[in-house]
Amino acid sequence: MSGMFAAAGVGSRPAELGGPGRGEWKPEQAEADTGVRAKPYDAAQVDVVVIGSGFGGTMTALTIARAFQKRDKGRVLMLERGTWWITPTETVGDKTGATKTFLETKTKGPIRTWVSGEHLRGLFDLITRCVRRKGQPDGLFDLSVFGAPDDKAEPHLAVISANGVGGGSLVYQNVTIKPPDLVLDELPVKWEATPLGPAQLNPTAKGERDKWFGLARSAIGIGVLNTWDQLDQVQPPAPTVNKGLSNIATRSALLAAHWQANSTKLDPAMDDPPKERRNELWLDRSRAFQEAAAQLTNDYGSVELAINDLVPADVSYRPDLYYPPAAPKPLDANTQVPWNYCERQGRCMIGCLPGARHTLNKQLMQAMYGTPANQLGDVNHKRGTTDPVEYLKLQPYAEVLYVRPVSSNPATDGYEVVFRRTDTGERQVVKAKRVIVAGGTVGTNYLLLRCRETRDNGGFRTLPDLPATIGEGFTNNADYLGFIENTKRTISLFRGPMATSFAHFGSDAASFHTIEDAGLPRIFAVLFGSGSKFLQGLARNGFSQSVIGQVVVGQVFNNDFRATIDRALKAIGGEPVRDDDLRAEELGAKNILGVAGIGRDAGVGKFTLTRQTSWIFWKKTVMQLHRTDGKAFSQDPAITQRIGPTLESFAAKLGGKFRPAFGDGPVVDIGSLHPLGGCRMGAQADGAVVSEFGEVYGYPGLFVADGSILPQALGVNPSLTITAVTLRIGQYISSLPV
């Protein structure tokens, strides 16, 4: 359940637009096509504009800026709708909390911090402060509940996007899984077309593809700049322990839990597995999930997580699990021990207080500004004076309205990007030879549909010749969330990373699907009197006043809570207090396992823009969604015939009962954590929007680099695949003349 939040450089909630957009934009209309003239952006010459700062935006921007630095020519500007988000607490690597002051000084703007409270206080903070809504444009979370055009079946789908520097990495669950070859073989990418260098040449597409996925792991877990630096030395990035991706399924750091079940050798890579059973050292949730998975499939294990952790104390039985096999090293504070490490707080999705997660805002900060004393978090490479400070700039609070070519020859003259400053309301415009749209699947589809189909305050459509297939081929990656309730085993839903384990099922590309465990932050513990009804209400109503009233205030004034307070007050007068009167809320979910299914749905969703009348005369343009086969997303066979039955089998092995997170609601049946498609890549313009290098057909110099270009569901968390594909796009653009 990770890689699920789309990056956000554009508004996923549609902005107000003017007319139906029947005219065509002409270059000479550049200064007269809006009611409000856009002010030129006050910056040095910009050669590449990147819209969005999630996985696609960061991978391409850092790759290109590094190439510009080596040439001493070229500038990259990133536009991000949100702002910087960091931890409000001290960490191992930043004991004084200097990061916030450091960033405020460098960016000259406000810095937001993660939810720091727990339980009811934290929930209230999340809903009121950290959600993007009217009056809170820099909120971190953005919930979109899509309706369908009048003559189409309702999608019954909700999508959550991130809104901040680092995009989806800020709130994803850190899972980096490579899809199986049978899925990757279907991608229209000729991986061997851009060999990675003399030492990495491979005559097969699969060999080059594997190298790109290796680079993607390094780029997420260590850093984009460091990854390319190592490749320049004709050395593939080495898997350095804890500085990159790690397996965290133990109850505490430093534990080496030797996995065994039924005395069966489950890890074929272990030549000499220990004889003693040490499953008890595992997180309860991980142990219960994997012991159930072992009874259903041979393809299961601990997920690779982009989180730092301390080296287990007992590594003697299998040193190559923790060190590069060719050069094992003793523990060394400079190379093996991370600054920050996972404390099993279960807060991945709402912000890691210890700073152990490999979020992309850290890489961007390091690249542009450095760090206080070079000792922040898990920034593991020190590039010193070679950081491309002057080659990369990021502008937060920038919501892109549209992109337009400067002339009839954009290949030579480039594009203008018009954006609105959400902090001041001012419109600004910046010109660049190349533009990379990386606003996440929802944001990118909305922006490009808007440029193709609508007018802005009396102007003309800015990109009227965009491919007709934009918006088609949307897939929710068959996301299906739920709970297995009343398990016989203790689960501890709120402890540990939010995802720890996976299990793969299916014998072919169509039937392939993944099941993962899904923990929750403790701020949701107070809601488990009503269980998953909170998620249903959230999906139907969004982050609104009704949610605050019905959920948060309702918890304060419900009968159980009042009765508890009444008993506690009476205790002051001498009456006894029962053991369970004031017990921890999380104990109410100790026998509930959160589960997430990910599969390969039909990929027949379609985004459209629709004019709607609000009040009497005021009109707005909204993005709607439907499936072209007339079904709801919850009715896809990937869910009804594959994922659903597998989750029922899991529940049976755990002695519990599976219940969907959203249920059969009138508005939403399921939520999408991994939206993909709509701007699909293809070998030719017929049926596709972009090439394998992300360039939009019909508009040279305009690129798309995010999950929207993937042409079908992956059946796994998509962050690693998006990273591999967009690193390649960044390398391609870097090879073009400035």
- What value, to the nearest 5°, has the Cα angle with vertex 21 and ends 19 and 26? 120
Closest Cα to residue 447, out of 393, 404, 389? 404
CA separation for the pair 338, 241 (Å, rounded): 9
Give me Rg for the CA atoms of the chain.
25
* Amino acid symbol at 700: P
535 occurs within a structural domain: no
Q: What SS3 class is residue 193?
A: helix
Which residue is associated with the tokens 């990133």?
A: 78
Closest Cα to residue 86, out of 77, 98, 74, 95? 98
224 occurs within a structural domain: yes
CA separation for the pair 48, 63 (Å, rounded): 12
DSSP state of 65: H
pLDDT at 124: 82
Q: What SS3 class is residue 710?
A: coil
Ordered alpha helix ranges (H), 72-223: 98-107, 119-129, 181-184, 205-221
Asked whether 3 and 719 are in contact (CB, 8 A), the reply is yes
299 occurs within a structural domain: no
Q: Report which secondary-structure segment, H or E, holds 437.
A: strand 434-437
CA separation for the pair 604, 30 (Å, rounded): 36
Asked whether 211 and 200 are in contact (CB, 8 A), the reply is yes
* CA-CA-CA-CA torsion sign (55, 60, 63, 69): negative
* Amino acid symbol at 634: S
Q: Which two tokens stand for residue 380?
A: 């593991």
682 occurs within a structural domain: yes
Q: Helix %, strand %, coil % for the chain, to 5?
A: 30, 20, 50
Closest Cα to residue 172, out of 573, 558, 675? 675
pLDDT at 224: 92
690 occurs within a structural domain: yes
* CA-CA-CA-CA torsion sign (494, 497, 499, 500): negative
Angle between helices 719-734 and 205-221 (to 10 degrees): 100
pLDDT at 226: 86
- What value, to the nearest 5°, has the Cα angle with vertex 736 and ends 730 and 738? 105
Q: What SS3 class is residue 461?
A: strand
CB-count exposure of residue 146 (10 Å: 0-12, 13-18, 19+): buried
Asked whether 711 and 682 are in contact (CB, 8 A), the reply is yes
Question: How many independent structural domains does the chain possess?
Answer: 1
288 occurs within a structural domain: no
CA separation for the pair 278, 261 (Å, rounded): 10
Q: What SS3 class is residue 668?
A: coil
User: Domain of 689?
Assistant: 27-31+46-129+158-242+351-468+678-734
CA separation for the pair 219, 222 (Å, rounded): 6
pLDDT at 370: 84
Q: In the chain, count of helices (H) and strands (E)? A: 17, 24
Which residue is associated with the tokens 């003793």?
A: 330
CA separation for the pair 283, 497 (Å, rounded): 10
CA separation for the pair 706, 727 (Å, rounded): 10
CB-count exposure of residue 630 (10 Å: 0-12, 13-18, 19+): exposed
SS3 letters for 466-511? CCCCCCEEEECCCCEEEEEECCCCCCCCCCCCCCCEEEEECCCCCC
| pTM of the full structure | 0.87
Asked whether 713 and 599 are in contact (CB, 8 A), the reply is yes
Q: Which two tokens stand for residue 49?
A: 């504009």
172 occurs within a structural domain: yes
CA separation for the pair 598, 516 (Å, rounded): 8
Q: What are phi and psi of 65, to 5 degrees?
A: -60, -35
Asked whether 437 and 671 are in contact (CB, 8 A), the reply is no
Angle between helices 98-107 and 360-369 (to 10 degrees): 60
CA separation for the pair 490, 485 (Å, rounded): 11
Q: What are phi and psi of 670, to 5 degrees?
A: -140, 160
Q: Which residues of the chain have pLDDT under 50?
A: 1-35, 197-203, 239, 241-242, 262-277, 316-337, 375-388, 530-532, 535, 539, 542-545
381 occurs within a structural domain: yes
Tell me, what CATH number does 210's domain have?
A: 3.50.50.60
Which residue is associated with the tokens 């590594």?
A: 315
